[in-house]
Structure 1
């Protein structure tokens, strides 16, 4: 039976009960009037029965009304449930729509971030172009006399060399750790005497790229180099020397990222362009050959590095003369490559030539003389030629002592390069004494060497100990 049937049945019962109640009330009224006229016990009983029946009829009517109200309530509940179902359905639809909108918004946000990144690169490029315009219109002639040659400035200079591995332990000389093959040619090898001068805008770009690489922002540096390279190739052609210089700068970025394979590929492309546009014996060609030798040495491919470095030496001797300081630097590079291949005689010859050039050019007490003697002494140490090595170390220390020692190493005027040379020399001498069994002297000198960078008295004490050992 459905709810409607129950509802209709309840209404019918109520109507029937109302009719019966009315009938009973009439009968009861008649009996009450009769009872007033005729007092009878039976009539009283009938009146009571009728009243009880009337009460039961009232109770039935009330129950029927309750059922009707209950039915109405249940209908209302069903209506509310239906409304809630509709509302839940609508909320589900709205939730699905919001999810779609959120996904679309996230996608748009990602696209906006990409566009923003592209705009950031474009802004940097515009700043770069602005710098180029500023440098293109800057015709100042007051450039520094010792400005580094950008052609050769792929790696740090000799002054930034760290202590060699073979000078502090028994392992072989690791060029990758100390940049001994790095060199910077003086500005005199550039410009008009050789028919090619690097434009100011490329120098500005080089400075800007160095700033980005120092901050670790390699993607921007590469983008700038690539854009400039495309512009140069479009305006000047692929075989122009400026394109080669741009390739050299890009190789710098790849070198800083340890992408040696890509850097070597770019340097070979640079070499081809410079040989064709500037000639096979141009200093720029020597610079590229030297840089290739550096990279091969960093990969411990000394056999591949040697012919490149020697060819660079030949070119520098032809262009600069056999007594030029840059020739001495190239000789140092050749010597280090030979030394790492155990070609000690050839390395010794190159070291000695470099020492002679530095003494003639800068004087006996120049830091390059001390550095080259240290390298030569380390080569002797590898060959167990202790007397020759000891003599060179003592020459370096004696030369330092003959200078104004206190002024050289005082906190106010200390020069890092000279201090590093003295410290390295003391450590190497300590190693030599240990191999000779002079452990006490070795301990004292090593202790002094560890304090030499901040305590001038420690170095003086070490020099006195060297003299004492020398008089034994």
Structure 2
């Protein structure tokens, strides 16, 4: 069976309509002629012309019906043609969307795989780096045993970068709840991945694109806009464009305070990020103000004994350290230590180390020595030290035996050699 296209059907219908119109005109002429003839005839002669006229009128009505039906069919054909065009456009658009979705799925799968590998590698390296840094910081303390050397060591304590014990920007971003459409969530995930990889030149344009789409679809004061502004600020922070980062964070803070109130945990996250950026700019007083506001909110939301409060206290301590507020630094570290002790050993050791450092800066050598001994005892136990003996007790006993020329037990010697390697 041959299929007729819409164009061919329209052409056929137009031809048929023209033919029917010609026949209609012809029948109309014949009808008028017959009427003129019958008007001059008598009753005996009029019967035949009248029958012919009736037949012509009947055919004329059929022709009119045919013309109307042809016009209707042409209208239907035009509608079918329009539907075909729309369907074709829809199919083309659907094919394009399918291709784009396929590409996005492949890109997402690849990105997720890279993300998992990167997170595993970063976690492993961070753990190793933290251990090495801590052991390196302990080396000088172990070697210096008298008060005078402790005083010399306190003058050489390195300045610690702002907020290296507390929340970092990436943690803040991952904690944000994002209710944006799936496409924007994918863009957000890609931006965060590129930030972690240090590819801020790619993360910046992607983040701006997502921000513009969010503003056009959700409005300029939507919570998701604040989230994206927060992420964009971190991109500029990594590019060391701290002034621009501060501007975006101020916009995000205004939106979140309007949407959630001034005591919401997301407001605290933004305030913490602002403290980071202002600290990077060297504006420690402003950074301290934002950090204190974040601390107050976290204490209200989570309670004064929450680990997040301890992290915020450590942040505040480091900002106060840059301003020479040593007593406040000590107070913050002691409060943080009271919270995390027994919960998080790594954070506890770091906080104790910072507390000992600030005690040295204040000349409180005996207290600092006590804190360092506590730290070394924990490390000694974790490394499988001699049971019932602290590190300095083992060292003093070893020194006495060496002076007397006594032989040490094999196991004790191995333990001490291990501790020497640990310190070196």
Q: TM-score, normalised by structure 2?
A: 0.54
Matching of residue 130 in structure 1 with residue 130 in structure 2: no
Q: Higher relative contact order by CA 8 Å / sep ≥ 6: 1 or 2?
A: 2
Aligned residue among 204, 227, 232 for 2:186: 204
How far 1:380 moved relative to its partner? Answer: 0.8
C-alpha deviation, 1:130, in angstroms? 2.9
CA distance in 1, matches of 2:202, 2:422: 51
State the Cα RMSD in Å. 4.3
Once the two structures are TM-superposed, the CA of residue 404 in structure 1 deviates from its matched residue by 5.3
What's the CA shift for 1:247?
0.8
Shift of 1:273: 0.8
1:371-390 matches, within 5 Å, as 371-390=350-369
Aligned length: 270
Distance 1:128 1:367 in 2: 44
Alignment partner of 2:341: what SS? helix
**What are the ranges of 5 or more consecutive residues in structure 1 without an aligned counterpart?**
1-125, 136-143, 148-156, 407-425, 430-439, 441-454, 466-472
- In structure 2, what is the equivalent of residue 399 of structure 1? 378
Q: Partner of 1:276: helix, strand, or coil?
A: helix
Distance 1:282 1:456, change over 3 A: farther
Displacement after TM superposition at 1:238 (Å): 0.8
Is 2:312 the counterpart of 1:330? yes
Instruction: State the shift of 1:160 in Å.
Output: 7.4
Find the counterpart in structure 1 of residue 232 from structure 2: 250
Shift of 1:401: 1.8
Alignment of 1:334-349 (within 5 A): 334-349=316-331
Partner residue of 2:223?
Answer: 241
Q: What CA distance in whole angstroms lies between the structure 2 residues aligned with 1:341 and 1:329?
A: 19
**How far does the alpha carbon of each residue in 1:426-450 deviate from its partner, in whole angstroms, 9 at most, with x for none?**
9xx9xxxxxxxxxx9xxxxxxxxxx
Relative to structure 1, the CA distance from residue 459 to residue 271 in structure 2 (aligned partners, 3 Å threshold; closer, same or farther) is: farther
Aligned to 2:208: 226
Judged with a 3 Å threshold, the aligned counterparts in structure 2 of structure 1 residues 313 and 345 are, in CA distance, closer, same or farther, namely same
Whether the aligned pair in 2 keeps the contact of 1:289 and 1:312 (CA below 8 Å) is yes
* Counterpart for residue 164 of structure 2: 179
The structure having more radius of gyration, on CA atoms, is 1
- 2:277 match: 295
Give the structure 2 partner of residue 269 of structure 1: 251
> Structure 2, unaligned stretches of length 5 or more?
1-99, 110-115, 120-125, 141-152, 386-390, 393-398, 400-413
Shift in Å at residue 334 of structure 1? 0.9
* Equivalent runs, 1:59-70 vs 2, <5 Å: none
CA distance in 1, matches of 2:246, 2:187: 21
Residue aligned with 2:282, SS: coil
Q: Describe the superposition over 1:82-107 as per-residue Cα deviations: whole angstroms up to 9, x where unpaired.
A: xxxxxxxxxxxxxxxxxxxxxxxxxx
TM-score normalised by L of structure 1: 0.49
Q: How much has 1:306 moved relative to structure 2?
A: 0.8
Report SS of the residue matched to 1:228: helix
1:217 is displaced (CA, Å) by 4.2
